[in-house]
Chains A and B, each alone.
Chain A
């Protein structure tokens, strides 16, 4: 909560004092920055991406990412750079590795489990219905036989 408040407080002067800044010198760098930063979490305002956050740290990190882009680093290298410092949490799209397997495959596992449960239930019900059916025909049969 405190941080949310701080984020807003930091945002306030931007809302008033900042004139539209000239887009950075290099539009190509800027375009790549937006694509990369959109996939990264701002660690201060945890529910904002690095691209949209106005927190000071986000500003600094964008500066750092710009530098890396100018150094011709690949997207993967830039992401690794941030993960090495801030952990997997900065990535909105977590990497697939043993630790994140439950995250990626858990839902499918649950789905399979549910399908198996449904199949079992349906089969039991079918058997029960069939049994009931034979039982009722049996009784009618014997009843008819008695007559």
Chain B
């Protein structure tokens, strides 16, 4: 029997499969070119105290770098998980407060740098006091220039950095218990062992 009529059907089925797989993928999930590269260096004021922090201060440690802001709704979603993580894990978590002061916070024109810094400190500290503070330390990136060097485009973002200061993992968007269990914790274990 001639089954040639099945060929278009098979082609159509293949097309449907491709489209169906395409639907399940998140267009926001873009592989970061930074994974496998050294974490960009910076020096930013810390949230508490008047010292500055640089990633090179963490050499020899495996650490988590979390980009957040109090105006970021998804960060609030993620926050309890980070607090829980910081209680259970031994690795330091460094927070980067990303552009805490937005354009709508400055209706009468740009604030002075010092005022911006103070307002950002007040708001971030209040947030952390209320919601719990998962961060070993936090730094403030007011103009977002460090964010650009880390390729930040959708807060929250999380990076895992190894002992040599190389970025080993990047997540755009909130962490989930599943990502933590399946990806982050095993990776932290292997990095700590090496």
On A, residues with C-beta under 8 Å from B are 3, 10, 13, 17, 43-44, 46, 56-57, 60-61, 64, 83-89
Binary contact readout B13-39 vs A (1 if CB under 8 angstroms, 0 otherwise): 000000000000001101111100000
A46: chain B residues at CB < 8 Å are 27-28
Within 8 A of A (CB), among B77-117: 99, 102-104, 107
- Known contacts: A3-B154, A46-B27. The answer to whether A83 contacts B33 by CB under 8 A is yes
Distance A3 CA – B148 CA, assembled complex (angstroms):
18
A13: chain B residues at CB < 8 Å are 103-104
B147: chain A residues at CB < 8 Å are 60
- Known contacts: A56-B102, A60-B144. The answer to whether A87 contacts B31 by CB under 8 A is yes
Distance A10 CA – B102 CA, assembled complex (angstroms):
10
Instruction: Tell me if B's interface is mostly helix, strand, loop or mixed.
Output: loop
B150: chain A residues at CB < 8 Å are 85
Distance A61 CA – B153 CA, assembled complex (angstroms):
10
Candidates A17, A57, A84, A88; contact of B153 at CB < 8 Å:
A57
Distance A56 CA – B27 CA, assembled complex (angstroms):
20
Binary contact readout B142-172 vs A (1 if CB under 8 angstroms, 0 otherwise): 0111011111011000000000000000000
- Closest approach, in angstroms, between the C-beta of A14 and any C-beta of chain B? 9
A43: chain B residues at CB < 8 Å are 30, 153-154
Contacts beyond the supplied A43-B153, A85-B151: 6 A-B pairs with Cβ under 8 Å: A17-B107, A83-B33, A86-B30, A87-B30, A87-B31, A87-B33
Distance A114 CA – B120 CA, assembled complex (angstroms):
61
